[in-house]
Structure 1
Amino acid sequence: MDCLNCTIHKRELTFNIPKQLKSLITKEFSHDTSSYIWKENILHTSEAASNDMVDFLREMNLTSGVTFAPLHKEWSSLDTFDDYRKTSWLDELIKEKSIKMYFQPIITQTGEIYGYELLARFFDKEEAIIYPDIIFPAAKLRGRTFALDRLCRMQAVKQIKRLYGNQKAFINFIPTAIYQPEYCLRATTDLAHSLNITSDRFVFEVVETEKVDDIEHLKSILRYYKKNGFSYALDDVGSGYNTLDLLGELEPPFIKLDMAFAQGVSHSKEKQLIAKSFLEKAHSYGGLCLAEGIEDIADFHWLKHQGYELFQGYLFGKPLPDPLIDKKINIGQF
């Protein structure tokens, strides 16, 4: 069984067409019957052919009641078709693997580089950066989240050879982009094992933790990682109303306090209470706490004093194309 949507193929679209329009469309495009496959009022066609049909319906002012859906996606109004069509560039980017991984250091209380979060940066044909806040919404609209998430994971895993000693690689993944872990993650785990690196140096990081609705599905993914010897982390902890309960259920080896609660924590009683509550929960089962988004040395000192073990943020280093040469950051310079 293959992982659904993990690779790029020619895109098929499905249209729900009002019955009164079926004969009109069939007649208009009778010269190309192979591109238009009907099942009652449901039309299956290629993306290229759908462009012509949608343009025709718009010209005739007949778009009312017509909906479309990419493979395995929900029905959408034709009002969003242009937005979908404009994201076609994404297919080529994924095919060509136009991606580089950037390294942001994660340090201990004393400044040793514990590992790096590997962050994806994408590039267009002119080598201009396309940032994640552009590309991931485009992938969601186009139904390419699965393929994009897989590409990022695979490219990130390969970078572990560039790290020193036992430094860990923190690698993001989107739980909703994984249907069944034994199929969707097989290539990732096979690649990691082939590198002859101890599995516990890989930390797979759940992003958008607060948006996870299917906790049982998330548990199945984490069990798969654990079975294969990998570690895992919950990202953006604190941003969801039920995150504290989630920690108790999942007991992740690493939790990452959301930057919204780390920044300014040294002088905010409210943020201090939140930071302490997650620290206590993590320590109750032996987890490590990582504070992200650190930009102020006062916040670092407060969190360190409370017992936070790991830190990440612009204060210690921005994401860069290469790991740092030094294995330790001089905290005394700040």
Structure 2
Amino acid sequence: MHARDTIPVAPHEPVPCSGCRGGQAGEIAFEFAFQPIVDVRQRTIYAHESLVRGPEGQSAGSVLTQVNDSNRYQFDQACRIKAVSTAARLGMREKLSINFLPNAVYRPELCIRTTFETAEKCNFPLDRIIFEVTEGEQVQDRAHLVSIFHAYRRFGFHTAIDDFGAGYAGLNLLAEYQPHLVKIDMDLVRNIDRDRPRQVIVASIAAMCHELGIEVLAEGVETRAECEFLAGAGIALMQGYWFSKPVFQGLASIDPATWP
């Protein structure tokens, strides 16, 4: 599905929910940095993850501490709009990964409307957008999160579970919904080349995901030894400082010396 395709919405409900307010974030000022996700097998950039930063490149925390119950919905919508429009402005040709707040989505078929409109306006293909949720966020209603994931898949988006192995949902969420991607938490990746328990756990996650038809991505890769061990274990998708730090309002290129 591409941005120019017909925007699917629920019958008789042609406008987004009132909580979205057209994607305005109120008083919260923010921009994005982008960190590449690489495919070491193909030696290419697979996607770029959009990471919230302050307007001058300040930390994500300086922005996220301003999010509360009164502006969470508007902020989530504004993030989607700015991530897509910035990616298009930068000429991104790879996939774009956007984090979303599951507790900030009333009804996915309505709240996604602004994303469709932005993608259409920017001519950014829908099948290049990944929506990911951090497993570490305590989801108030897991059934609702699963329904959001299913809706996004129907609309043509890719889906991902971030920080797998570190959060509240764990295997229960994976049993109810199988995303396109599972991102293994960086604490499981750290020093994996010399840590037998981590090797066993990551190998088990990779084998399980393979059986379920889910791609595995190792995040937080910081050393050549970690990169080469993961590649040898059959994990092709990676993300971390070994390849590139996030680039504020820009897209990284990969040093050929980093490939395993």
What TM-score bracket applies, with the shorter chain setting the length?
A: 0.7 to 0.9
From 104, 108, 112, the counterpart of 2:35: 104
**Counterpart position of 2:27:** 92
Equivalent pair of 1:210/1:243 in contact (CA under 8 Å): no
1:330 maps onto 2:256 in alignment: yes
Equivalent pair of 1:257/1:289 in contact (CA under 8 Å): yes
Q: Distance in 2 between matches of 1:195 and 1:91?
A: 23
Equivalent pair of 2:84/2:124 in contact (CA under 8 Å): no
Equivalent pair of 2:135/2:166 in contact (CA under 8 Å): no
- Following superposition, the deviation at residue 241 of structure 1 comes to 5.6
Equivalent pair of 1:209/1:234 in contact (CA under 8 Å): no
Q: Distance in 2 between matches of 1:102 and 1:262?
A: 23
Equivalent pair of 1:233/1:253 in contact (CA under 8 Å): yes
| Matched ranges for 1:151-230 at <5 A | 151-161=78-88, 162-165=90-93, 167-209=94-136, 211-230=138-157
- Following superposition, the deviation at residue 288 of structure 1 comes to 0.9
Secondary structure (helix, strand or coil) at the match of 1:204 reads: strand
**Counterpart position of 1:122:** 54
Secondary structure (helix, strand or coil) at the match of 2:166 reads: coil
- Following superposition, the deviation at residue 208 of structure 1 comes to 4.1
Secondary structure (helix, strand or coil) at the match of 1:139 reads: coil
Counterpart of 2:125, as a letter, is T
**Counterpart position of 1:37:** none
- Following superposition, the deviation at residue 199 of structure 1 comes to 1.9
| Matched ranges for 1:1-334 at <5 A | 2-7=16-21, 91-93=26-28, 98-110=29-41, 111-123=43-55, 127=56, 129-140=57-68, 143-161=70-88, 162-165=90-93, 167-209=94-136, 211-240=138-167, 242-320=169-247, 321-324=249-252, 326=253, 328-332=254-258
Equivalent pair of 2:243/2:258 in contact (CA under 8 Å): no
Q: Which stretch has the larger CA shift, 281-290 or 241-250?
A: 241-250
Q: TM-score, with normalisation over the residues of structure 1?
A: 0.66
CA change 1:242–1:216 in 2 (3 A) is closer
Equivalent pair of 2:103/2:140 in contact (CA under 8 Å): no
Equivalent pair of 2:53/2:63 in contact (CA under 8 Å): no
Render the CA deviation track for 1:186-219: whole Å, top value 9, x for unaligned.
1112322443333221111112455224221112
Secondary structure (helix, strand or coil) at the match of 1:115 reads: strand
Render the CA deviation track for 1:228-266: whole Å, top value 9, x for unaligned.
111111111011264123223211001111111111111
Q: Distance in 2 between matches of 1:329 and 1:211?
A: 37
Render the CA deviation track for 1:274-327: whole Å, top value 9, x for unaligned.
212221121112211111111111111111111112111111111112113x4x
Q: TM-score, with normalisation over the residues of structure 2?
A: 0.83
**Counterpart position of 2:3:** none
Unaligned runs of 5+ in 2: 1-14
Equivalent pair of 2:128/2:157 in contact (CA under 8 Å): yes
Counterpart of 1:132, as a letter, is A
